[in-house]
Structure 1
Amino acid sequence: MFVHSVYFWLKHPENQEDRDALKAGLNSLKGVQEITTVYIGGPAETRRPVIDHTYDLSLILVFADKAAHDTYQVHPVHQEFVAECSHLWERVQIYDVAA
């Protein structure tokens, strides 16, 4: 199993249209066949010193293996998402986990 965790900080977090546009873009990724599980959401209401809750939206993707992840990275749907939505975020942080 390969887990791809992506965290987004919006350029304009107060702008609901931008938030909705990014969320729609993230939802478009569900069409990539190599993805086995998709989670999209924002920070949970857990407040402890070790938890970073400064991001605006997150995307958690589960793949069968790294090869499936690598295919996703060059998939046209993913490339279109980046082209259409990258102007919305000021920062993106990714954590990949091999499980």
Structure 2
Amino acid sequence: MKRVICTLIVLGLLTTSCNQKNDNMKSFDAAFAHTVYFWFKNPDNQEHRRTFETSLQKFLTNSKYAKTNFIGTPPKASRDVVDGSFTYSLIVTFESAEAQQNYQEEEAHLIFIEECKDFWDKVIVYDSNGI
């Protein structure tokens, strides 16, 4: 009986915690997606990676235009069609192409570029309108 009560309490706490986290999330906006891939000059440099991640998080937190975002690193490729050659990926959604253009020119974005531009060797961007 004690085990059942403890299990129910733990499940209740987990459910409450998950619900609170989801309540704070912004909704994915399918109007415009901005996908960026970064290839670092020195991908194994842990100091550069920490600085990049901190600067990117600060930038996205302070952006007036980015609605949702996802920062990723390549998983171990399991198929030939998966390109895992990049160091970081970033997906940001916007309510419109105009909002994405404003994001390009906002101070938070320009500071991020200035702080991190020396780390990357190549950047490729794919922008998409939702259908």
Give the TM-score, by structure 2 length.
0.72
For residue 87 of structure 1, give the secondary structure of its aligned residue in structure 2.
coil
Query: Counting strand residues as a fraction of each chain, which structure ranks higher?
Result: 1
Query: Counting helix residues as a fraction of each chain, which structure ranks higher?
Result: 2
- What's the CA shift for 1:48? 1.2
| 2:42 equivalent in structure 1 | 12
| 1:47 equivalent in structure 2 | 78
* Identity level (%): 35
* Alpha-carbon distance in 2 for matches of 1:41, 1:21: 15
Amino acid in structure 1 at the alignment position of 2:53: K
Unaligned stretches of 5+ residues in structure 2: 1-30
Choose between structure 1 and 2 for higher RCO, CA contacts under 8 A separated by at least 6 residues.
1
Give the TM-score, by structure 1 length.
0.94
1:23-72 alpha-carbon deviations (Å, 9 max, x no partner): 11211222102111011110123421111110011111000110100000
For residue 108 of structure 2, give the secondary structure of its aligned residue in structure 1.
helix
| Aligned positions, number | 99
- What's the CA shift for 1:12? 0.7
Select which of 85, 94, 102 maps to 1:71: 102
Task: Name the Cα RMSD after superposition.
Answer: 1.0
Conserved? CA contact 2:34–2:126, under 8 Å: yes
State the structure with more CA Rg.
2
Unaligned stretches of 5+ residues in structure 1: none
